[in-house]
Structure 1
Amino acid sequence: MKKFFIFIIIVVTTIYLIYNRNQCKYLGCIDFTGIKEYKIKDIYRDEKNLYSALYIRSDNLLRVEMKSDASREESDRNIESRTTTIKSQFENSRSPYPGEISDEIKCDDKFKPIYRDGYVIAYLNSRLTYGACSEEGNAYRSLLTWQYCDKQKKLYQLEFIYPKDKFHEDRLEITCLD
């Protein structure tokens, strides 16, 4: 009888640990309007401290990157680095072949990202990358935002991607489910 109780305790403990370990997997630890409508399209990375994937909901996409075991300071640096990387793609640069047409390569302000408090609005090409500076080159618009969850020690980078003609700047209220 004693062995049976020990066995039951081990099984219950194992189930509890597995449940708690997987409880906050993927998007399960945050909430925003419509989150349950997104379905996984592609998982890019699924490692111990890094998860990145592409989700789909009708005709819009959600690109997610989640970093675990991240401090607030590390997360702030990560956000600053990502924002700086995006900005650098749209800075004017010298033409490799200066001449009569132009000495400089530059992007029209219309296609440059817009930086707001806590998020970035930008155009993306058909391969979901930044940098196209023409109407024909841009297929999507995105709203890139971040959410740091203190209790989870996780940084979520969420990029809501819409066909450019269906984009709307409604920033969702994202909450941590601690």
Structure 2
Amino acid sequence: TRGTELLKIEVTRSVSAPAAERIVGREIAQVKGIFSNSFSPYPEDLSHEIECPRRLRPEYYSTKIDGERRHYLLTYGNDRFGIGVCSDDLIAYRYLMGWIHCRDRQELYKIRHFIPHTENGRLLVDFFTALRCRK
């Protein structure tokens, strides 16, 4: 429901570092595809293209933590925890999607974290960057 926090963690086991990079790259490409400009299904409309405002598009980041590359993105979610929100009236959450590959355990963690949209997205980044792999 609106105004709550949600944290989802998906674990994929037996994933090498190169395989993890491929998986993450593919998932980032899928998100980018959601936000790419598309043609209107009704060409006679005033606009021939449908475009999400730049300020509502995901911000993509890559950083190194403990010698491992981490990729994440910040965007907005709707009241059903979906992404692809391109209108202010549909925004319910600030959303971080990120990936952590734990080389020693050969595990890939996909983190999906939603907080109320009125909260600062820095809270999501701080939480994500504080996560560490178990030994």
The interval holding the TM-score normalised by the smaller chain is 0.7 to 0.9
Once the two structures are overlaid, the 10-residue window that deviates more, 64-73 or 92-101, is: 92-101
Which sections of structure 1, spanning at least 5 residues, go unmatched? 1-57
1:156 aligns with 2:116: no
Residues 1:75 and 2:20 aligned together: yes
Match in the other structure for 2:56: 111
Residues 1:139 and 2:84 aligned together: no
Which residue does the alignment assign to 2:77? 124
CA distance in 1, matches of 2:50, 2:29: 19
Structure 2 CA distance for partners of 1:128 and 1:139, relative to 1, 3 Å: same
Residue ranges of structure 2 left out of the alignment (5+ in a row)? 63-70
Deviation per residue, 1:95-152 (Å, 9 max, x gap): 1111242111111111111111121001111111111210111211111111111111
Which of these residues, 112, 121, 132, is aligned with residue 168 of structure 1?
A: 121
Q: Give TM-score, length-normalised by structure 2.
A: 0.83
Asked if the contact 2:74–2:121 (Cα under 8 Å) also holds between the matched residues in 1, the reply is no
Q: Tell me the percent identity.
A: 30
CA-to-partner distance for each residue in 1:49-68, whole Å, 9 max, x for gaps? Answer: xxxxxxxxx93111111101
Aligned to 2:41: 96
- Matches of 2:26 and 2:82 in 1, distance apart? 17
TM-score between the two structures when normalised by the length of structure 1? 0.64
8 Å Cα contact 1:142/1:167 also seen in 2: no
The number of aligned residues is 121
Q: Which residue of 2 aligns with 1:18?
A: none
CA contact (8 A) 2:100 2:108 kept: yes
**Conserved 8 A contact 1:144-1:160:** yes
Structure 1 vs Structure 2 CA RMSD = 1.5
Question: C-alpha deviations, 1:24-61, integer Å up to 9, x for none?
Answer: xxxxxxxxxxxxxxxxxxxxxxxxxxxxxxxxxx9311
